[in-house]
Amino acid sequence: MISNYIKQCNKIVAGNYDKLFLAKINDIASVTFADNVVSAITMETGSPDPKFAYIETDLDTVSFTSNGTAERGYFSEQNLIAKFSEKTTALETALEDFLDAVTCGVVAIRIDGQGRGWISGIAPLDKIAKNRPWMSVVEEFASGESIEDTEEGNRYTITFSRKSATREYELKEDLVESLIQTKDADFVEWPA
């Protein structure tokens, strides 16, 4: 028997979908979890209207790292690393609130290179005691010394860090679609 196969050539490289959304933990009213997958996000009400900020300005990549060892307890050192192609006023303005907000905590949503959505810095109620929001941030910027310094010159890296016993939680497909395709998630402040 001979079967027909369809060869699909989909370009899957880091950066195809990389997106980053940040919110102050106090701006989130609730997150609905079903089998450790996020199905809904509700923001607090108030003025100004609290929302996740869409950090789109010159974002090259966003990645999540976790290193931990379990003994009598478990906490892992986690990093959320956002790399931007250049430092701009728009980027500085977008990130300004979050650089100060780490004292209370920041929650992040990232869309990875495969188009899957992940939220970190918040957890289901049964794990909330083990969860820590993003509470530390490190900035790295090097302007370069000459016009030829294009490899790493003018690159801006922001690394949020935390120690937590919880991981990232995947977003349900319809939430991801509302973030990367229809761009109509009501919990996000979309650019005009």
Confidence of residue 163 (pLDDT cuts 50, 70, 90): confident
In a domain, 116, yes or no: yes
92's enclosing H/E stretch is helix 89-101
In a domain, 12, yes or no: no
Distance CA 18, CA 2 (A): 40
pLDDT of residue 13: 45
* pLDDT of 140 higher than 70: yes
* pLDDT of 4 higher than 60: no
In a domain, 9, yes or no: no
Torsion of CA 43, 49, 52, 54, to 10 degrees: 150
Contact between 55 and 81 under an 8 Å Cβ cutoff? The reply is no
Tokens of 147: 């016009």
Mean pLDDT along residues 103-126: 89
Dmax (CA) for the chain in angstroms is 67
* pLDDT of 145 higher than 80: no
In a domain, 13, yes or no: no
Mean pLDDT along residues 2-16: 45
Please give the residue range of the domain that contains residue 56: 27-189
Tokens of 93: 């303005």
In a domain, 7, yes or no: no
- Pairs from 61-64 (Cβ < 8 Å, separation ≥ 24): 61/14, 61/15, 61/18, 61/113, 62/18, 62/19, 62/20, 62/110, 62/111, 62/112, 63/14, 64/110, 64/118, 64/120, 64/168
In a domain, 10, yes or no: no
Distance CA 112, CA 114 (A): 5
As a whole-number percent, the residues of the chain with pLDDT over 70 amount to: 86
pLDDT of residue 38: 95
Mean pLDDT along residues 19-37: 92
Mean pLDDT along residues 153-182: 89
pLDDT of residue 16: 47
Count: domains in the chain: 1
Over residues 33-69, the pLDDT tens digits come to 998 899 999 999 987 889 999 987 788 889 999 998 8
Mean of pLDDT over the chain: 83
How many C-beta neighbours within 10 Å does residue 101 have? 21
In a domain, 136, yes or no: yes
In a domain, 2, yes or no: no
Mean pLDDT along residues 66-83: 86
Confidence of residue 7 (pLDDT cuts 50, 70, 90): very low
What's the whole-model pTM score?
0.83
